[in-house]
Structure 1
Amino acid sequence: MSEAIWDSFIETMLAPGLALVDPEHRIYEEEYRKFLLRNITHGDQLNEIDGYYLLPGFEPESARYAYDNFEFKQGDVIISTYPKTGTTWMTAIVQNILYIRDPKFLEQASKISLFFSYMEFGPVSKYRVTENLKVPRRFFGTHLPEPLVNTKKIRKSGAKVIYMMRNPKDRAVSWYNFVQSLPMSSHKALEPIFPKDMRTFLDVCFSGKQKSFAKDGEGYFECLKEWYKHNSEENFRIVVYEELKMNPHAEIKKIADFLDEKLTDEEVNKIVENTSFTAMKQRAEAGGTQRKGGMQMFRTGNIGGWKNHLTVAQSELVDRKFKEVLGDTDIEFIYE
């Protein structure tokens, strides 16, 4: 990705969020730009917090601030995901559910980037903006493992958590393609955990040696198990990527009901239209967050594409690891 493209991308990361706060809360704007330039284009080291590893840009200090200091409140929505399980899609759906009756604000809110909405992304100073965003209902995202999120504080506040779950084989293929579009994939220091060769990449991924939002030797299954223990709690809901893909109207209605937002059938239809894969990809390309030679947030979004990429041995390895880690749960994945 060229320097000019990254400069434009960084602008799209910052400008929409900064536009939703008063001028006195924008004092660290230059610091934010330097942070993004340093971590997105040049970041070549994983960050570590309590034995868990985070990608460049995802900061232990910000994660700790969110855990210890940030105050959640009634009406807040936290979208928790492991990377490439439908994060961007669920964020768009939640935004539409919350703001569908205010199209102008929906357009503004949909441009708020992970820099200001993800609890652990960016420097702690970004909370000067995050805590003062002028939004009627706040939404946040996180890739953090459950032990690093203050779920007790969230539950007590009355905020609600949506956890997105996707079959691990399609997730891994999507993860490979996404990582290859990031500058960090070209850094030699990270080459052992993010190889260019797809088969080798998937081997590392499935072996638990990628150390992405997990401990060394662990990965998606372990993170899913940690979050799944909240499944029976009133403020927590798991959404299955494949079920949402196959029946978006019914699933979006369930999500809206969970968030205490009563939608008409017409509004549900509009949200389905707004958050279709095609519509979101077109908006990302038009808005500069996805472009040729840059970060690829959207590829196909289909179910079952893993069959064209995983070897039989890799598929069987995933099945074995599923039984080892999640065999004592009632979790079932949809693979096609």
Structure 2
Amino acid sequence: MLLVPGGFHVDTKASGAFGEKKPQIIAHAHTSLNFTVFDCKWIPCSAKFVCLGNFPRGTGVVQIHELQHGELQLVKELEKPKPIKCGTFGASSLQTRHIATGDFDGNLNIWNLEAADVPVYSVKAHKEIVNSIDGVGGLGIGEGAPEIVTGSRDGTVKVWDPRQRDSPVANMEPMEGETKRDCWTVAFGHAFNQEDRCVCAGYDNGDVKLFDLRNMSVRWETNIKNGVCCVEFDRKDINMNKLVATSLEGRFHVFDMRTQHPTKGFASVSEKAHKSTIWQVKHLPQNRDVFMTTGGAGNLHLWKYEYPAQRSEKDSEGVAGGVAGSLSLLQNVTLATQPIASLDWSPDKQGLCVCSAFDQSVRVLIVTKLNTV
């Protein structure tokens, strides 16, 4: 165990010695906040990031911080009527860089951070809290219309086009007689042309559902036996390649999404990585086979997915199915005593990321030597 700048520990069992060409996770800047932060996102094409959360008095907060000469400077603070749970820039253009947020009252709002007194778009999206949000079609990522997907405690998953007011363009809700499950996480994928697009959703009972938006149907579903905290495709703008789903009990699953067997579904590999909840997974924008998981014990694990020699094979009946790859742990660190609830890689600078923990702090980290993995 070695101490590195920033006062946290690196597990040398994962990294070997510092002389080896393994990535290192270095604390670059840190600041304490006066509110609970639920999500943080880099503002594209900038050295700024947004923190979203709630003040102790029960109102929402949007804070913008800027990285200047190795230190974090508070640029702007905005107080909102309701606590804010999640946000995304994914449906915005690089010119406007508007952030879409979901709050505790079920509202979907889109904010112009330059003039954020009133949202540029607002809709009562759900009856209960918006747990998760994702965007596609913006920032030059993914073909097709700019769309936002929201998942809520009310059990529904809805897709919104900000150019259309009031009603969602798609609404995935429990069928009559089905038990309403709390949707904890949503993610876009398969947006590689103008026609195709899908949404993956994870629920409190371990269900993972893949919705085909072109055919408005459930393409595939499985259960990972524990509440699904986060799902993410390795990239949104390609033919489906890999999907990672994390869970409450410290295990995550990587599904190979290229070949779907008619009865067995998608091949997968799983790893028991953390001793507690895996709150988030985020793929490195510049290398879709590298991703970070964040843990309930205040730790981060950096992983790499290794593809098998062949990605599909035929069974005894001649039906093609996928072949799962393998996982290698590149590095892990312990940053905090509280869960790390959010993490976001910089889309512009490889290895730069921001994360927030429930100790009311936000940290900017640098992950080195990613070109060598």
Structure 2 length-normalised TM: 0.24
Query: Which protein, 1 or 2, shows the higher relative CO under an 8 Å CA cutoff with sep ≥ 6?
Result: 1
Larger Rg: 2
Give 1 or 2: higher helix fraction: 1
